[in-house]
Amino acid sequence: MAIKIRAKAQDGVTTVKTLMNHEMETGLRKDSKTGEKIPAHHITEVTAEHNGKLVMTANWGGAISKNPYLSFKFKGGASGDKIKVSWVDNKGGSDSTEASIS
């Protein structure tokens, strides 16, 4: 599993763009070979921290697409500061990645 992050500070606002690798199954699709429902498996929460301080939380459900893209902005941040993005899914899986603001 992987999260790709790009963060850029400009005029006092930091823009963060992320791409998360996750299957994001809703639990409503059926397997084409067996006809049985594919169990739900999706990200339920995404958080972002700037130098250890929480700046964003998103609560998600099964309607988010496979390999979701997320972009958000927050005030503050400077070149070289750290951004950490983490997610947790409905099966207890998680991932987290840290990057520097450019």
* All structural domains of the chain with their residue ranges: 3-100
User: CATH for 3-100?
Assistant: 2.60.40.10
Residue in the block written with tokens 């823009």: 15
Q: What percent of the chain has pLDDT over 70?
A: 99
Q: What percent of the chain has pLDDT over 90?
A: 97
pLDDT of residue 1 exceeding 80: no
pLDDT of residue 21: 96
- Average pLDDT (4-20) is 97
- Average pLDDT (15-34) is 96
pLDDT in tens, 40-69: 999 999 999 999 999 999 999 989 999 999
